[in-house]
């Protein structure tokens, strides 16, 4: 469904992605793991057209989508929930959802989708006339996801949905993601919460400084000592004196 | 009692003048909200609008022979169409080519634009001042001894209609809300499928539109029309700051208050206190500095912490 081949993306002169190749098959939940600054967010931004890769190709459902404007890519069925949610704080909850459905022309369809969103997250219905910025982090995340779901995307890109949420809310959000996946949405999930992400994912990629470093299923990745070392927090034993010797 | 009647008359006249300031302030608030660019050419856009309208009025007048309502209406319609094209051209000439440059570059470009427009108009229309037409002549209405000019009433009325239309557009229509969304977070707006580039184009068109209308309204209030009309646009800045820079409601209220302060200080106050008369030109700027010192966020501005 989604295929990246040798994608290289720059921010000005800084190279953020050094030839990333990955694939998401229809119905899968794929996760990208990696430390801060590894380029996870850049991969998602490259897919949805917010940044344009210098090299490489991105295909969605067989069509080439790098070089397209973001609005075109959205209209093809790619939803993107950005890092830190980025809801429109001064707009009401209802207006936020309306914007999520900006590309929907038929009024009835738009109305139905909004009803579905309210059905899924009753709290949003309760707050529909409230300014979105006044809601709690968890509620904002639910709004951000509902907003992206308004167009019924075939592929949903989720960028660290658990960021800044309490452990209890993180659990809720992951339950929601699992449910979405079950209902047939293909998902590409970026997370720092490695254990949780891998536990719901079909396949995972590990990214280090702009390169895919490892990939595999949950079990395969858990077996990899390197992942455990670098991302699951078990750490390598380093002699402290060595740190001072400068070698 | 006489002072009282005088004050009322001046207030109404001030509200009319203030409505025009409000419209100019509204014009650059729109651009500022959407793109964070302060458009210093807003006054010149207004001046161009006034000239274009003058040109249309003289053309249609030459054909019909007498100044009927139809002539003014046609000229108005022609100017509106012109402003759409004008705004669209400005988007392509100023906004799009500079979209990846720092905001500061774009602001500098608007200052250049203001000077170029003033020079261009002087070249095309000639250096002579024009005597603007007024559809109402010198007609006045008298109400219990209070005399109000028909022109002022028409200005207030037009401003109310225009602001109502804008309010409706921004808060009730999909494209209006999309404009708000774009100004809050252009990146998130793109992810919704909102064509952000087109929204920015629309903002410039709207801005040219309100500028043109304010030019059409203001011209007959002045005895002479020349390119220095653009400088009046600068007075909308203190108005916007008083209301709270970046707030649409603030632009409107600030504009009206500035208009009233200016008219009263030029009228009753100057009559009673000679020294105020000498200060007329700087009174709005004194208000500006006072507001910046006492309440920098203005009447409607909210203190905002920008997320980095």
Neighbouring C-alpha atoms within 13 Å toward the C-beta of B110: 22
Q: Dihedrals φ, ψ of B97, to 5°? A: -65, -25
Average pLDDT rounded to a whole number, residues A4-11: 93
CB contact under 8 A, B191 and A89: no
Contact of B189 with chain A, judged by CB distance below 8 Å, is answered with yes
Residue B300: other Cβ atoms inside 10 A: 18
Condensed to tens digits (0 to 9), the pLDDT of residues B243-291 reads: 888 888 899 999 999 999 989 888 877 778 877 777 777 888 888 898 8
Contact criterion met (CB below 8 Å) for A206 and A183: no
Total count of domains within chain B: 1
pLDDT per residue as tens digits for the range A66-97? 999 999 999 999 999 999 999 999 999 999 99
Residue in chain B nearest A79 by alpha carbon: B191
Say how far apart CA A90 and CA A96 lie, in whole Å.
Answer: 9
Domain membership of residue B47 as a residue range: 2-230
ipTM: 0.88
Which residue among A71, A82, A88 places its CB closest to the CB of B195? Answer: A71
Task: Give the whole-angstrom CA distance, residue A24 versus residue A188.
Answer: 7
Question: Could you tell me which residues come within 8 angstroms of residue B237 by beta carbon, excluding any fewer than 6 positions away?
Answer: B25, B288
* CA B69, B71, B75, B80 torsion-angle sign: positive
Give the chain A residue nearest B181 (alpha carbons): A88
Q: What is the pLDDT of residue B215?
A: 94
If phi > 0 it is left, if psi is from -120 to 50 it is alpha, else beta; for residue B150 that is alpha
Q: Which helix (H) or strand (E) holds A6?
A: strand A2-11
B262 within a domain of the structure (yes/no)? no
Q: Say if the Cβ atoms of B194 and A99 lie within 8 Å.
A: yes
CATH value of A2-77+153-245 in 2.40.50.140, 3.40.50.1000, 3.40.50.450, 3.40.50.300: 3.40.50.300
Task: Establish if B298 belongs to a structural domain.
Answer: no
Alpha helices in chain A (DSSP H): 40-48, 70-75, 93-100, 107-120, 122-126, 137-149, 167-182, 194-200, 218-223, 225-230, 240-245
Nearest to B193 among A71, A88, A90 (CB): A71
| Between residues A223 and A152, the one the model is more confident about | A152
Q: What are the chain B neighbours of A83 within 8 Å (beta carbons)? A: none
Instruction: Say if B165 falls within a structural domain.
Output: yes
SS3 B111: helix
Inter-chain contact B174–A88, Cβ cutoff 8 Å?
Answer: no
Nearest residue of B to residue A85, measured between CA atoms:
B188
Give pLDDT tens digits for A176-219. Answer: 999 999 999 999 999 888 888 888 899 999 888 888 888 888 77
Is the CB of B190 less than 8 angstroms away from the CB of A50? yes
Alpha-carbon distance of A8 to A22, in angstroms, equals: 13
- Counting every residue, how long is chain A? 247
pLDDT at B280: 76
Mean pLDDT of B68-77: 89
Domain regions of chain A by residue span? 2-77+153-245, 87-152
For residue B225, is it within any domain? yes
Closest CA relative to residue A97, chosen from A83, A117, A112: A117
CA-based nearest distance B306→chain A, Å: 12
Which chain B residue is nearest to residue A80, measuring alpha carbons? B191
Residue B65 domain-assigned (yes or no): yes
Q: Any CB–CB contact under 8 A between B252 and chain A?
A: no
């Amino acid at each position: 469904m989604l295929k990246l081949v040798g994608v290289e993306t720059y921010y000005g002169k800084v190279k953020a992605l050094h030839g990333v190749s990955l694939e998401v098959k229809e119905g899968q939940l794929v996760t990208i793991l990696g430390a801060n600054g590894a380029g996870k967010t850049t991969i998602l931004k490259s897919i949805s057209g917010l940044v344009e890769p210098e090299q490489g190709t991105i295909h969605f459902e067989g069509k080439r989508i790098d070089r397209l404007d973001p609005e075109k890519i959205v209209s093809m069925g790619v939803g993107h929930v950005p890092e830190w949610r980025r809801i429109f704080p001064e707009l009401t909850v209802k207006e936020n959802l309306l914007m999520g459905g900006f590309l929907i022309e038929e009024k009835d369809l738009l109305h139905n989708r909004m009803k579905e969103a309210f059905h899924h997250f009753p709290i949003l219905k309760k707050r529909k006339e409230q300014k979105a910025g006044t809601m709690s982090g968890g509620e904002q995340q639910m709004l951000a996801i509902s907003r992206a779901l308004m167009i019924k995307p075939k592929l949903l890109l989720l960028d660290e949905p658990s960021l800044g949420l309490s452990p209890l809310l993180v659990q809720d959000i992951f339950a929601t993601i699992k449910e979405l996946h079950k209902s047939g949405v293909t998902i590409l999930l970026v997370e720092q919460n490695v254990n949780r992400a891998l536990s719901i994912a079909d396949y995972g990629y590990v990214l280090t400084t702009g390169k895919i470093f490892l990939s595999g299923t949950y079990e395969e990745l858990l077996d990899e000592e390197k992942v455990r070392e670098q991302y699951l927090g078990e750490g390598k034993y380093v002699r402290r004196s060595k740190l001072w010797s400068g070698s | 009692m006489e002072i009282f009647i005088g004050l009322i008359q001046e207030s109404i006249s001030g509200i009319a003048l203030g409505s025009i300031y409000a419209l100019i302030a509204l014009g650059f608030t729109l651009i500022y909200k959407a793109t964070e660019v302060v458009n210093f050419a807003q006054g010149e856009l207004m001046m161009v609008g006034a000239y274009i309208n003058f040109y249309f009025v003289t053309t249609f007048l030459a054909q019909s022979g007498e100044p009927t309502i139809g002539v003014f209406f046609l000229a108005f319609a022609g100017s509106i169409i012109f402003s759409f094209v004008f705004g669209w051209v400005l988007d392509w000439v100023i906004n799009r080519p500079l979209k990846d440059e720092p905001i500061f570059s774009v602001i500098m470009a608007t200052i250049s634009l203001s000077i170029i427009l003033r020079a261009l108009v002087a070249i095309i229309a000639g250096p002579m001042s024009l005597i603007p037409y007024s559809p109402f002549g010198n007609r006045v209405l008298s109400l219990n001894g209070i005399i109000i000019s028909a022109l002022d009433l028409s200005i207030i009325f037009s401003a109310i209609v225009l602001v109502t239309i804008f309010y409706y557009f921004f808060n009730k229509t999909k494209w209006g809300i999309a404009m708000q969304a774009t100004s809050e977070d252009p990146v998130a707006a793109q992810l919704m499928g909102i064509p952000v580039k087109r929204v920015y184009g629309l903002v410039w068109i709207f801005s040219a539109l309100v500028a043109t209308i304010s030019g059409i309204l203001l011209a007959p209030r002045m005895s002479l029309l020349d390119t220095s009309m653009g400088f009046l646009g600068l007075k909308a800045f203190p108005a916007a700051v008083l209301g709270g820079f970046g707030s649409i409601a603030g632009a409107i209220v600030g504009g009206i208050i500035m208009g009233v302060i200016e008219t009263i200080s030029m009228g009753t106050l100057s009559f009673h206190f000679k020294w105020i008369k000498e200060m007329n030109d700087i009174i709005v700027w004194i208000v500006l500095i006072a507001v910046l010192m006492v309440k920098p966020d203005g009447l409607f501005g909210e203190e905002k912490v920008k997320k980095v």
